[in-house]
Structure 1
Amino acid sequence: MATPTVDEGDDPVAAARRVHRRTGPTFYLATRLFPARVRRETYVLYGFFRLADEVVDDPDRTDPAAQRRELDRIERAALGREPTDDPILAAFADLRERYDLPAREVETFVDAMRMDVERDRYESHDDLAAYLRGSSVAVANVMLAVMGPDDPDAARPHAAALAEAFQLTNFLRDVREDVQDYGRVYLPQDRLAAAGTSDAQIRSLTCTEAVADAISAELERTEKRYAEGVEGIQHLPRDCQFPVLLAAVCYADHHRAIRDRDYDVLSSRPTLSRSRRLALLARTWWHWHRTADPVATFVRASSIPTVETLSTPEPARSRCSIRRFFRA
């Protein structure tokens, strides 16, 4: 995908919003429901994060040294260490100063993008944790600063868990794309080995019983991160709780799509249609209106197993007829 471009005279928020709408429809739906004080800033944040992400995901940029130089330039401009004529970068630098965002969060995020230049696999979940700290937790910490919860320390570990869940869902949804377009495998190598498969099998884009077992195990692990993350939505400002909850329900719905295809994420990329996202919006709003409780709403509106189900071993399943554990 080509790096998003904007006209020099373009309004940076409008430019960032267009990038968001085009490249992140699931989160864009949730972002539109934030209060105005958060919505504008979220467009700018997303535009910045996407700008850096595209440096390592643009198939036309294949020179690692050039990618590192561009990431260095983006980091310096974002931290106000050099001038920029990029409206999104300038808007982010202004936002960072207004909210006094720690430079380390920007640096940690860009470091994760550098890892995408240098690495194409991770040996274990512990090995992957450093990447997640930059690619997802740093984003959550910045979003928390913009939302302004009364007790950031109470909200922070849950926000980190939810951000990691979103990123892990992206990894599971995008296995085929990551292999085909970027030559990367984010599924930990020890997970693949434990299931009886390998990095080479993933790169062959051929789904086997062992690959399906590895994907199934990763779904269950990720769903525990959702549970931990959703428990902390109560610590967010009231006007931010529903949009974050909706994002969780929509992202988690990719797990239903993956299970519906018998865990085969190698043949094609599972996606959510616009009608499906709108249906999830209606369903989540209905339960939120009735309970005003993030956990209760997530249990009723999402398509992933409940916490109780996660703690119970899954029965033996046939790849031809898989028993599903979804909420209606």
Structure 2
Amino acid sequence: MLHNEQSILASDYAYCEAIIKKHSNSFYQAFSFLPEEKARAVYAIYAYCRTADNCVDENDTIAAKTTALNEMVDALNRFAFNQEDDHPLWRALRDVFNRYEMDILPFYDQLTGQLMDIHFIQPDTMEAMESYSYYVAGSVGRMLLPIIASQAKEDCTRVAVSLGIGMQITNILRDVGEDYMKLGRIYLPRQEMLLADYTPAHIANYEVTEGFKVLWERMASRAEALYDEFLGKVDLFDQDSRFAVLSSALIYRAILTSVRQNGYDCLRRRNYVSTHQMIQILSEATV
């Protein structure tokens, strides 16, 4: 590769790295432990997912959201036929696809997840919530597999998808109030809310009822079972990638602990893992 091409590519990856640093400090801290080539690949994939997210989050009307998402689908179609846009994101992704045995299908699945958000319907059951969680997060696990499990002796797809779904359930449990107040969305399954005698009015009034705690813990238990499934198979991932992916799982799982410590108040406050807690988790992570 010519020096100028290397310089452009380095700039493209720096563009992607800036996006993950801005939007997800926890992921950035965890995946920065990867070897540089793998870390850059992860940053590019994250930037792709964030760009897809922005199609929905940064537009006000359904028409504008749909237009932006359709443009993203068109861009991915061009990429699939090696005719990608001349843009840092797509140039970086092309390099990732050149270096690893990537599967483009989960990249399309991610866009399906964004379409589900545009035409949002509250999930009726836990199963429906997990199906949605696959498209917006389990798909990311599949995107990353060729990078972090390139030497795996067995198929890690289920494990990676489980981790992604567990993380998305964690997002849902962290952001109950924010999702409702800012986006008008309730990701808690409708049937589970009925069983807990918990209503949208309770969310609007920031009420943490005993029923809500039971509902929250039921979903948290499912997320933790998915984390456990991943933790039991972490040795299948590449040796140079285990610490990073384990760290990301443990840091995200700790969000659930944070919500519990704050009295299950995920309605009016933002629960997060502090930098000090991250450092402690990273120091205790063993692979």
In the other structure, the counterpart of 1:140 is 141
In the other structure, the counterpart of 1:69 is 67
Report the alpha carbon displacement of residue 109 of structure 1 after superposing the two structures with TM. 0.8
> Does the 8 Å CA contact 2:154/2:236 hold for their aligned counterparts?
no
> Does the 8 Å CA contact 2:173/2:216 hold for their aligned counterparts?
yes
In structure 2, relative to structure 1, the CA distance for the partners of 1:141 and 1:152 (3 Å cut) is farther
Taking only the aligned residue pairs, the percentage that are identical comes to: 24
Report the alpha carbon displacement of residue 46 of structure 1 after superposing the two structures with TM. 0.6
Mapped to 2, the partners of 1:156 and 1:125 lie a distance apart of 21
Q: Secondary structure at the match of 2:156?
A: helix
> Does the 8 Å CA contact 2:149/2:236 hold for their aligned counterparts?
no
In structure 2, relative to structure 1, the CA distance for the partners of 1:150 and 1:83 (3 Å cut) is closer
AA partner of residue 50 (structure 1): R
In the other structure, the counterpart of 1:23 is 23
Report the alpha carbon displacement of residue 104 of structure 1 after superposing the two structures with TM. 2.0
Q: Deviations over 1:239-265 (max 9, x none)?
A: 111111111111111111111122121
Q: Deviations over 1:155-192 (max 9, x none)?
A: 22111111111111111111122112211111111111
In the other structure, the counterpart of 1:307 is none
> Does the 8 Å CA contact 1:55/1:71 hold for their aligned counterparts?
yes
> Does the 8 Å CA contact 2:166/2:222 hold for their aligned counterparts?
no
In the other structure, the counterpart of 1:159 is 160
Q: Which residues of 2 match residues 17-56 of structure 1 at below 5 A?
A: 17-56=17-56
> Does the 8 Å CA contact 2:178/2:268 hold for their aligned counterparts?
no
Report the alpha carbon displacement of residue 78 of structure 1 after superposing the two structures with TM. 2.8
AA partner of residue 47 (structure 2): G
Q: Which residues of 2 match residues 302-317 of structure 1 at below 5 A?
A: none
Q: Which residues of 2 match residues 172-191 of structure 1 at below 5 A?
A: 172-191=173-192
In structure 2, relative to structure 1, the CA distance for the partners of 1:234 and 1:100 (3 Å cut) is closer
AA partner of residue 219 (structure 1): A
> Does the 8 Å CA contact 1:176/1:205 hold for their aligned counterparts?
yes
Q: Deviations over 1:16-74 (max 9, x none)?
A: 1111111101111111101123101001111110011122122xx11212212211211
In structure 2, relative to structure 1, the CA distance for the partners of 1:35 and 1:269 (3 Å cut) is same
Report the alpha carbon displacement of residue 203 of structure 1 after superposing the two structures with TM. 3.9
AA partner of residue 224 (structure 1): A
Structure 1 range deviating more: 146-155 or 216-225 = 146-155
In structure 2, relative to structure 1, the CA distance for the partners of 1:179 and 1:96 (3 Å cut) is farther
Mapped to 2, the partners of 1:152 and 1:77 lie a distance apart of 34
AA partner of residue 33 (structure 2): L
Give 5+ residue unaligned stretches, structure 2: 1-7
> Does the 8 Å CA contact 1:254/1:272 hold for their aligned counterparts?
yes
In the other structure, the counterpart of 1:313 is none
Report the alpha carbon displacement of residue 140 of structure 1 after superposing the two structures with TM. 0.6
Mapped to 2, the partners of 1:152 and 1:161 lie a distance apart of 18
> Does the 8 Å CA contact 2:130/2:165 hold for their aligned counterparts?
no
Give the RMSD, CA atoms, in angstroms.
Answer: 2.1
**Which is bigger in relative contact order (C-alpha 8 A, separation at least 6)?**
2
In the other structure, the counterpart of 2:215 is 214
Mapped to 2, the partners of 1:111 and 1:70 lie a distance apart of 13
In structure 2, relative to structure 1, the CA distance for the partners of 1:76 and 1:103 (3 Å cut) is farther
Q: Report the TM-score, using the length of structure 1 for normalisation.
A: 0.79
Mapped to 2, the partners of 1:73 and 1:96 lie a distance apart of 21
> Does the 8 Å CA contact 1:216/1:263 hold for their aligned counterparts?
no
Mapped to 1, the partners of 2:247 and 2:198 lie a distance apart of 35
Structure 1 range deviating more: 263-272 or 21-30 = 263-272
Q: Report the TM-score, using the length of structure 2 for normalisation.
A: 0.89
Q: Deviations over 1:89-132 (max 9, x none)?
A: 33224433553533321111100001110014111122123312
> Does the 8 Å CA contact 1:202/1:211 hold for their aligned counterparts?
no
Report the alpha carbon displacement of residue 152 of structure 1 after superposing the two structures with TM. 6.5
Number of aligned pairs?
277
Mapped to 2, the partners of 1:138 and 1:268 lie a distance apart of 29
Q: Secondary structure at the match of 1:268?
A: coil
Mapped to 1, the partners of 2:153 and 2:75 lie a distance apart of 27
> Does the 8 Å CA contact 1:159/1:232 hold for their aligned counterparts?
no
Q: Secondary structure at the match of 2:13?
A: helix
AA partner of residue 160 (structure 2): A
> Does the 8 Å CA contact 1:158/1:231 hold for their aligned counterparts?
no
Report the alpha carbon displacement of residue 139 of structure 1 after superposing the two structures with TM. 0.7
Give 5+ residue unaligned stretches, structure 1: 1-7, 293-328
Mapped to 1, the partners of 2:84 and 2:156 lie a distance apart of 34
